[in-house]
Chains A and B, each alone.
Chain A
Amino acid sequence: MIKFDNVSVSFTNKKGQIVDAVKNVSFNVNDGEILGIVGTSGAGKSTLLRTVNQLQLPTGGHTIVDGKDIGSLSGKSLAKFRHSIGMIFQQFNLVSTQTVAQNVAFAMEIAGHSKEEIKRRVPELLSLVGLSDRADVYPSTLSGGQKQRVAIARAVANNPKILLCDEATSALDPETTNDVLQLLEVINIKFGITIVLITHEFDVVKKICHRVAVMNKGELVEIGDVFDVFTKPQHEFTKTLLSHTFDLDLPGRLTEDKSKPLVKIIYNGEKAENAIVSNVVKLYDVDVNILHGKIEYINDKPFGILIVQLIGKQDDIYNSLDYLSNNTYRTEVINERD
């Protein structure tokens, strides 16, 4: 669907220095998937995303959509191409002087749809995003989540093949974020629209993305299935980005007590569904004291972290650790004796 072929973008900043916002990025976005691009701010995600609809021209390489090199489009052919790409933004970017219905209609007018067709389709779109009752109000009276819903209705008004989301949930509270993400998922499934979303929050990616690309300082550092990247991050930067998920905070008195080993167990996939902890208790004469833990489900696959204290005789503890290492994704003792 979308092919980034060695894409680079550099700017000259105000001081006259050349800044490489995107450096030689190559990867593909598959038809019908939801792909997340994550990275810290300034990683070049936004710039890369904007090469898809030529809001930004690559200074090197090509962005190819449906076999067409976007950089070669201009004038009418560019305008026509843009009708087939929807885009939503962090700040919603609704036209404040148009009502909700007019905002949605605006996109269709631009694409040259007839008045009758616009009149028929706008209510459909508003009902899709659950805002039928707000058709005639101005955006300033809406909440952030509602504004983003209008923006989504506007973005999909012309039946685009691709929807670009530029930090679409970053200005929303967690609950509204979930609603908007669910709506995006519905749109992806119902209309088969390919979605590329960029975010600095891995949580967003975990919720709806099929695949994820990680960017750092303008470069693509990793791309893959969300579950794989999340559970087996290859690159240092990805590990740092994910560190908050792996670090469970324990009170100091527990980590300082070196007499009983504290074990962090990370398990994923099918292994997560085995009763590993109770097996340890049955097989070896140890007590397992669960101190902290959480399980995440990514694309319906479980991924869990447990911190447990093993209490028992030295030999039994060694054997238990062996068993855990062999039967989980990763096991580490976090209060190693000096």
Chain B
Amino acid sequence: MNETNYSELLNNLLPAFGETLEMCGIALLLAVVLGTPLGVLSYITSKHSICQNRVVNLIVGFFINVIMSTPFVILLVLLLPFTRFVVGTSIGPEAASVPLGIVAIAFYARLVEGNLHAIDKGVIEASLAMGATWFRIVTNVLLPGAFSGMIRGLTVLAVTLVGYSAMAGIVGGGGVGDLAIRFGYYRYQTDIMIITVLLLIILVQIIQTIGEKASRKVQK
């Protein structure tokens, strides 16, 4: 086992922590901005819903399933050309954010859709009976009704992304997870591995606690 230089570790750890937050933050933002509408689209075009459309529903479902069923490491590599096109480079945390974001969008779309399905169909029927448009039902009934569940979903997603971000090292994305793999695993520095893993556990705990509190706070 190599001697551990703790000041070097600290110098590595702080930027890595920043990289993890950056990658997961961008991916989360993409999930909220693009995953939410995608989830809504999948819900409202489903059978017997307010904008039933089989073709759109199949396309959306297929896209989500392809992303979700491809192992992340493979997706990371497969998306390299796309990543280079979007951010101009295929290495670094920004580059890693692209595949991470795409997984986040698909994953979050499914979570949003699930929460929408849990909304009482009677309330939607009542809104339709009042002459509400599908858009108004989405903005005034569906999204507020699913809000608490969507925050819980976002928590699950954030925790999952922290885990996925460890694989970002493959494209030089860095991050705490990558540090754990490079130093702790490849260089047999068990103590570094333990420290980084502990750090990840704490991060996940914090996310979980904040998420649960927020979700409870918005519940009516």
Contact = CB atoms under 8 A, between A and B. Distances in A.
Contacts of A154: 130
Interface string B109-139: 0000000000010110111111111001000
B98 to A, nearest CB: 35
A53 B128 CA distance: 9
B129 A97 contact: no
Interface residues of A, number: 29
Contact of A79 (B122, B131, B141): B131
A106 B130 contact: yes
Interface in A16-66: 53, 55
B126 A96 contact: no
Contacts of A107: 130
A93 interface: yes
Interface residues of B, number: 19
A85 interface: yes
B136 A110 contact: yes
B130 A82 contact: yes
Nearest to A81: B131
Contacts of B145: 95-97
B194 to A, nearest CB: 45
Contacts of B220: 96-97, 138, 140
Given A96-B220, A140-B220, A80 B131 contact: yes
Contacts of B144: 95, 97-98
Nearest to A151: B126
Interface of B: 120, 122-123, 125-133, 136, 140-141, 144-145, 147, 220
15 contacts: A79-B132, A82-B130, A85-B129, A87-B126, A87-B130, A89-B122, A95-B123, A95-B127, A95-B145, A96-B120, A97-B141, A106-B140, A110-B127, A140-B220, A158-B130
Top 6 nearest A-B pairs by Cβ distance?
A82-B131, A93-B126, A97-B144, A79-B131, A93-B122, A87-B129
